[in-house]
C-alpha cells in the first residue's frame, strides 16, 4: 500500500500542502506528529511507550543463532540483565544457548508474529541480524531477496510503529567494483554486484529514509569480515579467515578458496560486538550520520597464513579458488576508512592481526586442554 494512503488526515494535509520538493519542512512536521507506516486506522493517534534514559533497554535480536547473535546476547545480558535480552531465530537453539537466557521463535517474514513479540515483551531495542550472507545469497537469490529485503521491511515498520531503537548491520559487501577500494570512505559510489550487497544498500537507504521521514532511531554499522572462535560463519566470502584456524588445529593443512593476495577488511568479533553496543548507546547528538564504516585490520590469506605459521610452522596452505567467492572479494573494499566513526562516537579497535591470531589460538588451546581434562 503506498505510504500516503496510510497517513492520518493531518499528515496528508501537511504532505499535500508542502510546497516544492518539501523535503525539510515535511521531515520536521511528520516527525512531530509521529505516525507509523503500517498504521491501520487512518485517524488513530499513535502512542509509543517512552522509557527514561536510565531504564535498561529490552532487546530483541533477530537471526540470533548465527555467527554473531549468541556473542552479542552474552555481552548485552552482562550489561542489561539476562531477561532483558531475547534471542530469536527460525532454527532450534543448542541446549547451551536455550538455557543461557530467553529464546523465542521468530521468522522475520511473519509480520504479525514479530509485532506480537515486540508488544508482549515491551521491546525497546531491536538488533536485526537475520540475513543470507554473500555466498549463500548468490546460491539462492529469491530467498535472499525475501529475507534480506522483505524481512527488513517488516522490521522497519515494526520499529517505526513501536518507537524502537533499531540496529541493522551493513557490510563491506555494500560496495562494488566502481567504489574506491583502498580505502573505501563512508560516502562514495555503491553499486554492489551481489544480492547481499544490493539488499544491504537498500537497508542503509531505507533505514535512513525512515529516520528522516518517521523519526526512526536507525543505527547501522558496516562490518568488515568477522572472525570468531566459538561460532561458525554462515556462508560468506570472508569465511576462509575463520576456517583456517579450525583446519590448522585439526590437520595442520588448509585449502583456501580465495587467491593468496586477496586483501579484505577484517575484525575480531569482540571489537564488532563492542562497536555495536557503543553505537547503540551513543548520544543522538554525536551521530552526524546513521550508517558508519568500522574498521580494524586488513589482510590477505597469505598474510594471515604467515602470521599463523609464526606459531604453527607446520601449517601447509594450498589454494583452490572458488570463482564465485573470488569475484565477490575482488569487487569489495581492500581497506575501510572509518574516520567518521572514530571522530563522532570514539570508535577504536583493540585487535590487530597479531592479537587476533594469538587470541584465536589461545581459545582453541584452552578448549583442547578442557577436553583433555574431561
Ligand X SMILES: C[C@@H](O)[C@H](N)C(=O)O
Ligand Y SMILES: NC(=O)c1ccc[n+]([C@@H]2O[C@H](COP(=O)([O-])OP(=O)(O)OC[C@H]3O[C@@H](n4cnc5c(N)ncnc54)[C@H](O)[C@@H]3O)[C@@H](O)[C@H]2O)c1
DSSP state of 184: B
Rule CB under 6 A: choose which of 78, 79, 82, 91 binds ligand Y.
91
Residues 72 and 88: beta-carbon distance below 8 Å = no
Residue carrying the nine cell digits 535480552: 85
Q: Which of ligand Y, ligand X, none does residue 69 bind to, with CB < 5 to 8 Å depending on kind?
A: ligand Y
Q: Are 342 and 289 in contact (CB under 8 A)?
A: no
- Give the residue numbers annotated as catalytic, written as ranges: 196
Q: Are 332 and 172 in contact (CB under 8 A)?
A: yes
Least distance (Å) between residue 223 CB and ligand Y = 3
Query: Is the CA virtual torsion 50, 52, 275, 285 positive or negative?
Result: positive
In three-state form (DSSP H/G/I as H, E/B as E, the rest C), the secondary structure along 89-113 is ECCCCCHHHHCCCCEEECCCCCHHH
Please give the Cα distance from 112 to 91 (Å, whole number): 19
**Binds ligand Y by CB under 6 A, chosen from 74, 107, 141, 302:** 107
Binding segment for ligand Y (CB under 6 A), chosen from 41-49, 60-68, 204-212, 364-372, is: 60-68
Give yes or no for residue 273 binding ligand X (CB under 6 A).
no
Own/partner contacts of 113-116, CB < 8 Å, gap of 24 or more, are 114/154, 114/155, 114/158, 115/158, 115/161, 115/162
Q: Is residue 212 classed as helix, strand or coil in its secondary structure?
A: helix
Binding mask 157-176 for ligand Y (x = CB under 6 A): ------------x-x-----
Q: Is 226 in the site for ligand Y (CB under 6 A)?
A: yes
Instruction: Select from 125-133, 290-298, 306-314, 349-357 the region that touches ligand Y (CB under 6 A).
Output: 125-133
Residue 109 binding target from ligand X, ligand Y, none, CB below 5 to 8 Å by type: ligand Y
Burial grade of 260 (CB within 10 A; 0-12, 13-18, 19 or more): middle
Which residue from 163, 207, 215, 225 is in contact with ligand Y, where contact means CB under 6 A?
A: 225
Nearer to ligand X, 214 or 240 (CB): 240
Residue 66, interface with ligand X (CB under 6 A)?
A: no
By beta-carbon proximity to ligand Y, the closer residue of 7 and 147 is 147
| Chain Cα centroid distance, residue 134 | 13
Query: Binding to ligand X (CB under 6 A): which residues in 162-181?
Result: 171-173
300 in contact with ligand Y (CB under 6 A) = no
Helix/strand/coil percent split, the chain, to 5: 45, 15, 40
Which of 129, 240, 245, 351 is close enough to bind ligand Y by CB under 6 A? 129
- Interaction of residue 68 with ligand Y, rule CB under 6 A: yes
Q: Which stretch binds ligand X (CB under 6 A): 22-30, 68-76, 232-240, 355-363?
A: 232-240
Residue 236 is a binding residue for ligand Y (CB under 6 A): yes
Is residue 65 involved in binding ligand Y (CB under 6 A)?
A: yes
**Residue with the three cell numbers 555467527:** 67
Residue nearest to ligand X (CB): 236
Residues that bind ligand Y (CB under 6 A): 62-63, 65-69, 89-91, 106-109, 129-131, 133, 147, 151, 169, 171, 223, 225-226, 233-234, 236, 238
Amino acid at each position: 500500500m503506498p505510504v500516503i494512503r496510510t497517513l492520518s488526515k493531518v499528515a496528508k494535509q501537511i504532505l499535500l500542502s508542502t510546497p516544492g520538493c518539501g523535503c525539510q519542512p515535511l521531515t520536521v512536521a511528520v516527525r512531530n506528529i509521529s505516525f507509523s507506516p503500517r498504521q491501520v486506522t487512518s485517524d488513530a493517534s499513535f502512542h509509543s511507550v517512552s522509557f527514561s534514559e536510565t531504564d535498561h533497554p529490552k532487546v530483541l535480536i533477530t537471526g540470533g543463532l548465527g555467527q554473531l547473535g549468541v556473542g552479542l546476547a552474552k555481552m548485552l545480558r552482562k550489561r542489561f540483565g539476562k531477561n532483558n535480552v531475547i534471542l530469536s531465530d527460525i532454527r532450534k537453539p543448542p541446549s547451551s544457548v536455550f538455557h543461557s537466557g530467553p529464546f523465542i521463535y521468530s521468522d522475520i517474514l511473519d509480520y504479525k508474529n514479530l509485532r506480537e513479540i515486540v508488544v508482549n515483551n515491551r521491546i525497546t531495542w531491536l538488533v536485526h541480524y537475520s540475513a543470507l550472507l554473500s555466498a549463500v545469497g548468490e546460491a539462492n537469490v529469491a530467498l535472499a531477496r525475501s529475507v534480506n529485503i522483505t524481512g527488513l521491511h517488516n522490521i522497519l515498520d515494526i520499529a517505526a510503529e513501536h518507537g524502537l531503537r533499531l540496529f541493522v548491520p551493513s557490510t563491506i559487501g555494500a560496495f562494488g567494483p566502481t567504489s574506491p577500494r583502498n580505502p573505501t570512505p563512508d560516502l562514495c559510489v555503491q553499486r554492489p554486484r551481489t544480492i547481499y550487497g544490493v539488499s544491504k544498500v537498500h537497508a542503509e537507504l531505507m533505514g535512513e529514509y525512515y529516520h528522516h521521514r518517521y523519526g526512526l532511531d536507525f543505527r547501522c554499522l558496516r562490518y568488515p569480515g568477522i572472525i570468531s572462535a566459538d561460532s561458525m560463519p554462515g556462508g560468506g566470502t570472508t569465511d576462509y579467515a575463520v576456517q583456517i584456524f579450525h583446519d590448522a588445529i585439526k590437520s595442520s593443512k588448509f585449502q583456501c578458496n580465495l587467491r593468496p593476495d586477496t586483501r579484505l577488511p577484517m575484525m575480531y568479533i569482540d571489537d564488532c560486538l563492542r562497536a555495536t553496543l557503543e553505537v547503540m548507546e551513543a548520544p543522538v547528538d554525536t551521530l552526524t550520520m546513521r550508517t558508519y564504516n568500522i574498521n580494524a585490520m586488513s589482510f590477505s590469506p597469505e598474510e594471515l597464513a604467515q602470521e599463523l605459521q609464526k606459531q604453527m610452522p607446520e601449517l601447509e596452505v594450498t589454494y583452490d579458488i572458488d570463482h564465485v567467492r573470488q569475484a565477490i572479494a575482488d569487487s569489495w573494499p581492500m581497506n575501510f576508512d572509518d574516520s567518521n566513526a572514530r571522530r563522532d562516537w570514539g570508535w577504536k579497535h583493540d585487535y590487530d592481526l597479531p592479537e587476533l591470531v594469538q587470541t584465536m589460538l589461545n581459545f582453541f588451546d584452552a578448549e583442547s586442554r578442557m577436553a583433555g581434562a574431561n
